[in-house]
């Protein structure tokens, strides 16, 4: 698939029916465009099966509830929509994007209770999120933006508005020749990358930030399970910036990122070691099993 994301062949599921890709449009006064009243999921399909598909659908509905915009489709209906999109486009390996938003309606201020909640599902073929960094290790900048306090945002929802500072952080990182940026949280603890969770290795044990102010990713949860199955001790805790110097390995996890080794964060360097490679290869086998 080539060209801009607005100009491609194929179909998109939208509000209960399949429509031509180029016709999957919304009005300029759609509430979600103006006020970020939108939630979404990113999923990957391997060999015709979406990994943890139902968990993604359940989280989409949870995120909608967190933003006070109940999604008018059941988990089963969302699951059927994803299957329909993949089959209609002939995909067996693809990235799947399910999104729900407050549409255009009688309200155009901050409140939008009278506007319908709409939903769409699109899919496209997408390779490694970080390109060749998947093999040699990504280079990360350190963002000037911090993940906000849970008292200020619904941090456990996968909501579009929460990614504004992520976009700015990734733009700044790319301008420096980096693949991504690592973010601290509002207290100064290590948090995550702009669209992926982060893990560190020291003395054969794994350390990962406690997700009390950011999304506890499904891939993150999967990898923690893999580590525990391997009898590797996992510490979910607050990590201070000065600890970065003492870690030996590092990787990112996410549906798009999968398991991507990290070679550098700012001035700190990490080896793409045996445990990192084992988890990356093990995850690849798991999602295709």
**Which DSSP letter does residue 238 get?**
-
Structure token digits, residue 118 = 């709409």
CA angle at 242 for the pair 239 and 248, rounded to the nearest 5°: 80
Q: Within a 13 Å sphere around the CA of 137, how many CA atoms are in the beta-carbon half?
A: 18
C-alpha distances (whole Å) from 147 to each of 163, 194, 250, 286 are 10, 10, 20, 31
C-alpha distances (whole Å) from 97 to each of 33, 85, 191 are 17, 10, 24
Full-model pTM: 0.95
SS3 164: helix
Please, are residues 102 and 150 in contact by the beta-carbon 8 Å criterion?
Answer: no
Provide the residue-wise pLDDT of the chain in tens; the chain has 289 residues. Answer: 467 999 999 999 999 999 999 999 999 999 999 999 999 999 999 999 999 999 999 999 999 999 999 999 999 999 999 999 999 999 999 999 999 999 999 999 999 999 999 999 999 999 888 877 677 899 999 999 999 999 999 999 999 999 999 999 999 999 999 999 999 999 999 999 999 999 999 999 999 999 999 999 999 999 999 999 999 999 999 999 999 999 999 999 999 999 999 999 999 999 999 999 999 999 999 999 9
Q: Assign domain 11-124 to a CATH class.
A: alpha beta
- Domain 133-287 coded CATH 3.40.1080.20: no
| Sequence-separated contacts (24+) of 266-273 with Cβ below 8 Å | 266/140, 266/141, 266/142, 266/182, 268/244, 270/137, 272/136, 272/137, 273/201, 273/248, 273/249
Give the start-to-end residue ranges of the domains of the chain. Answer: 11-124, 133-287
Helices then strands (H, E): number in the chain?
7, 15
Residue 138: Cβ within 10 Å count: 28
Structure token digits, residue 277 = 């490679």
C-alpha distances (whole Å) from 183 to each of 52, 136, 141, 192 are 26, 22, 9, 5
């Amino acid at each position: 698939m080539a060209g801009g994301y607005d100009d491609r062949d194929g179909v998109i599921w939208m509000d209960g029916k399949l429509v031509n890709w180029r016709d999957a449009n919304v009005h300029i006064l759609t509430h979600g465009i103006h006020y970020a009243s939108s939630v979404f999921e990113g999923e990957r399909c391997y060999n015709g099966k979406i990994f943890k598909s139902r968990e993604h659908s359940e989280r989409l509905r949870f995120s909608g509830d967190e933003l006070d915009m109940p999604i008018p489709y059941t988990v089963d209906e969302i699951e059927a929509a994803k299957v329909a999109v993949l089959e209609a486009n002939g995909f067996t390996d693809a990235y799947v994007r399910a999104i729900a938003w407050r549409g255009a309606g009688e309200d155009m201020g901050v409140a939008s209770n009278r506007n319908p909640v709409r939903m769409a599902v699109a899919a496209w073929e997408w390779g490694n999120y970080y390109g060749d960094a998947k093999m040699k290790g990504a280079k990360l900048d350190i963002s000037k933006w911090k993940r906000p306090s849970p008292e200020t945002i619904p941090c456990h929802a996968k909501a579009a508005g929460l990614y504004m500072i992520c976009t700015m952080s990734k733009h700044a990182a790319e301008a420096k020749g980096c693949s991504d940026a690592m973010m601290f949280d509002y207290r100064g603890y290590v948090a995550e990358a702009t669209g992926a969770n982060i893990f560190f290795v020291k003395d054969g044990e794994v350390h990962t930030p406690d997700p009390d102010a950011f999304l506890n990713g499904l891939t993150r949860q999967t990898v923690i399970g893999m580590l525990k199955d391997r009898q590797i001790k996992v510490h979910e805790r607050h990590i201070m910036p000065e600890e970065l110097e003492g870690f030996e390995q590092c990787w990112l996890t996410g549906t798009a990122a999968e398991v991507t080794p990290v070679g550098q964060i700012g001035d700190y360097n990490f080896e793409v070691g045996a445990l990192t490679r084992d988890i990356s290869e093990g995850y690849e086998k798991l999602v295709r099993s």
